[in-house]
C-alpha cells in the first residue's frame, strides 16, 4: 500500500517540543556496487512490495507487476502496466495476490506468475482488500459523488455493491488496509477468511466494529466511550485506524489531535480475541494536555515508548496474529526507525536509522541501512524476516530493497530498482542519538 503517514509534532530535545532539526540527506554514492539492478525508469520505481512466501515476492513497479522466486535476487515482469500513481498490493495468501491502482485491479492465483484484469467499481478505485480470491472491498477516495466510498464484491469483481454497516457511518480516512503491508490510516481491514474490522461513527462518537463473516454481521469491539471523538474543527482528521488484521487479531492506531491539526498523543492497541480484550502496547513519548485518557490496560512491562522522532507509524505489517513490524518516519516520510514484535506487542525490538535524532534514546541503531532515506514499503514473513524499500528522493529513482533475517539487527542490500546508470548503494550514516 502507498504510505499515508500520520502527522505529528516532533521535538529537538527530550524536554520540550516542537521543532526537529535535520541534517542534509546523504548522497547515494561512494558505496560498494549492488549486483541486482531492475531498470524501472527514472520516476518512482517501486510503489509496493510483498513477501508471499520464504523465497517468492511480488512488487508493484511503475512499469508493471514483477515477481521473484529467489528471495529478490532476480525479478521477472509478469504483468506489464503503467502505474503512474501509487499502486498497492493486497496479499490474501502465498498464491492469491491483488494489485490496485486508480481504475486498475489485477488478481493472481498462482503466486504472481500470471495476472487477470478485473473490473473495478469505479475509474477512481484506489485500493482493494480481499479476504478470498473472489470476495473483498474496494476504496474510491472521492467522497463527493455517488460513486465514492467503500464497495464490496463477492463474485470476483463481476458485481459491486456499496459497502455499508447498518446504523453506522464508515469513516473515510484512508484506504483499505491489507494483512501483508498495511497502512496505518485505514478505516476497513479484512483478514483472509473474512474476519473484518471497521472504524465507524454514530451520534458523534467513533467505535471500532468487528465482523466474523465477511461484513454481514457486526458488533462493537471498542466502544465510543473509550476513544477520542472526531474534532468538529478537523472533520477530515480521523482518530482511529485499523491495520494488520490476521485471524482474530488486529492493531488499532489511536491518534489525538488539537484544533490546529497537531498530534497530541498516539497509542497502538492490539487484540487477539476478536476485540473482547485489548492491550495498549505502544505510546508516544509526548502526551500533551487535553489528551483523552484511554481506559485500556498495558502489558505487564508497560507499553513501548515511541521516541519523539519516531512518533509517525507510517507502515504496519502483521505476518501473524502476534507478529508485527512498524515503519516509523518523520512528518515528511523520512525513515527514522522501526520496531518488531513476535508476542503481540508485549515486548518490542525498537531500532533507529543511522543519523536519526531519537529522543529519548533507548533505540539501538540499525546496521546496513542508509541515512536520510524515505520509507517506500515494508513487508514481513515473521517477527525476524522482513524487507524494506528505501529511496533517497520522493517519486524518483533509484529505490533500494533491503532484507533482514534476524529481527532487524542487521540488513543486507538485495536489489536496486531504477535506471541502470546508477550502480551504487547509498552510503550508510552514523547514528547521532540512541546508538
Query: How confident is the model over 344-362, as pLDDT tens digits?
Result: 999 999 998 887 766 655 5
82-106 average pLDDT score: 86
Nearest residue to 245 (alpha-carbon basis) of 389, 352, 90: 90
pLDDT at 20: 33
- Give the per-residue pLDDT at 251: 95
Which stretches of 235-297 are assigned E, i.e. beta strand?
A: 240-246, 249-257, 263-271, 279-284
CA atoms of 345 and 380, how far apart (whole Å): 16
Mean pLDDT, rounded, for 138-144: 70
Window from 250-259, 281-290, 419-428 with minimum mean pLDDT: 419-428
Q: List Cα–Cα distances, 204 to 19, 231, 238, 312, in angstroms.
A: 33, 9, 12, 26
- Percentage above 90 pLDDT, the chain: 43
- Residue 150, pLDDT score: 87
Q: How confident is the model at residue 401 (pLDDT cuts 50, 70, 90)?
A: very high
A 10 A CB-CB count for 347 gives 14
CA–CA distance, 45 with 109 (Å, rounded to integer): 25
**Residue 22 vs residue 323, higher pLDDT:** 323
- Stretch 295-317: mean pLDDT, rounded? 83
**Residue 252 pLDDT level (bands cut at 50, 70, 90):** very high
67-71, 152-156, 325-329, 422-426: least confident range: 422-426
Q: What is the pLDDT of residue 67?
A: 92
Q: What is the pLDDT of residues 198-248, one digit of tens each?
A: 999 888 788 999 999 999 999 999 999 998 876 655 555 568 889 999 999
CA 292 from chain centre, in angstroms, equals 25
CA dist 135 and 330 (Å) reads 36
- pTM for the whole thing? 0.85
Residue 17 has pLDDT above 70, yes or no: no
Residue 105 has pLDDT above 70, yes or no: yes
> Residues 6 or more apart from 88 whose CB is under 8 A from it?
1, 2, 47, 48, 60, 99, 100, 101, 126, 127, 128, 175, 178
250 forms bridges with which residues in the sheet? 271
Which domains does the chain possess? Answer: 37-417 (2.130.10.150)
Can you give the pLDDT at residue 217?
Answer: 96
DSSP secondary structure, 17-65, as one string: -S----PPPPPS-SSPBPS-EE---SS--EEEEEE-SSS-EEEEETTEE
CA distances from 86 to 156, 185, 316, 358 (A): 23, 15, 17, 29
**Cell 494489485 sits at which residue?**
99
Please state the rounded mean pLDDT for residues 147-161: 89
Residue 6 to residue 167: CA distance in whole angstroms:
28
pLDDT band at 381 (very low <50, low <70, confident <90, very high): very high
Give the separation between CA 317 and CA 181, rounded to whole angstroms.
5
Amino acid at each position: 500500500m502507498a504510505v499515508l503517514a500520520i502527522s505529528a509534532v516532533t521535538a529537538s530535545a527530550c524536554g520540550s517540543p516542537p521543532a526537529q532539526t535535520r541534517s542534509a540527506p546523504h548522497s547515494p554514492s561512494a558505496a560498494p556496487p549492488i549486483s541486482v539492478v531492475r531498470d524501472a525508469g527514472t520516476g518512482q520505481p517501486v510503489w509496493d512490495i510483498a513477501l508471499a512466501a520464504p523465497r517468492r515476492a511480488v512488487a508493484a513497479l511503475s512499469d508493471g507487476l514483477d515477481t521473484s522466486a529467489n528471495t529478490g535476487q532476480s525479478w521477472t515482469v509478469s504483468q506489464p502496466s503503467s502505474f503512474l500513481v501509487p499502486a498497492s498490493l493486497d496479499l490474501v495468501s502465498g498464491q492469491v495476490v491483488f494489485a490496485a491502482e486508480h481504475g486498475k485491479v489485477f488478481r493472481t492465483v498462482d503466486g504472481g506468475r500470471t495476472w487477470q484484469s478485473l473490473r473495478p467499481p469505479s475509474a477512481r478505485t484506489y485500493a482493494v482488500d480481499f479476504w478470498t480470491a473472489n470476495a473483498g472491498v474496494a476504496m474510491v477516495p472521492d467522497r463527493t459523488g455517488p460513486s465514492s466510498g467503500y464497495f464490496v464484491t463477492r463474485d470476483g469483481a463481476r458485481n459491486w455493491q456499496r459497502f455499508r454497516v447498518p446504523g453506522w457511518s464508515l469513516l473515510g480516512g484512508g484506504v483499505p488496509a491489507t494483512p501483508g503491508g498495511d497502512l496505518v490510516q485505514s478505516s476497513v481491514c479484512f483478514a483472509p477468511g473474512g474476519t473484518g474490522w471497521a472504524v465507524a461513527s454514530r451520534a458523534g462518537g467513533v467505535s471500532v466494529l468487528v465482523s466474523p463473516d465477511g461484513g454481514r454481521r457486526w458488533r462493537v469491539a471498542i466502544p465510543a466511550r473509550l476513544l477520542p471523538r472526531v474534532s468538529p474543527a478537523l472533520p477530515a482528521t480521523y482518530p482511529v485506524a485499523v491495520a494488520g488484521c490476521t485471524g482474530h487479531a488486529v492493531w488499532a492506531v489511536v491518534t489525538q489531535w488539537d484544533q490546529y491539526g497537531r498530534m497530541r498523543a498516539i497509542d497502538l492497541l492490539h487484540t487477539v480475541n476478536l476485540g473482547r480484550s485489548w492491550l495498549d502496547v505502544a505510546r508516544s513519548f509526548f502526551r500533551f494536555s487535553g489528551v483523552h485518557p484511554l481506559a485500556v490496560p498495558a502489558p505487564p512491562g508497560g507499553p513501548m515508548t515511541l521516541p519523539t522522532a519516531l512518533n509517525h507509524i507510517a507502515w504496519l505489517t502483521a505476518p501473524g496474529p502476534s507478529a508485527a513490524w512498524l515503519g516509523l518516519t518523520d512528518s515528511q516520510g523520512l525513515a527514522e526507525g522501526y520496531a518488531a514484535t513476535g508476542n503481540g506487542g508485549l515486548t518490542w525490538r525498537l531500532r533507529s536509522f543511522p543519523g536519526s535524532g531519537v529522543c529519548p534514546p533507548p533505540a539501538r541503531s540499525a546496521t546496513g541501512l542508509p541515512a536520510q532515506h524515505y520509507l517506500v514499503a515494508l513487508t514481513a514473513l515473521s517477527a525476524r524476516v522482513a524487507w524494506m524499500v528505501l529511496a533517497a528522493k520522493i517519486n524518483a529513482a533509484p529505490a533500494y530493497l533491503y532484507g533482514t533475517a534476524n529481527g532487524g539487527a542487521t540488513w543486507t542490500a538485495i536489489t536496486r530498482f531504477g535506471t541502470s546508470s546508477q550502480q551504487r548503494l547509498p552510503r550508510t550514516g552514523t547514528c547521532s542519538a540512541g546508538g
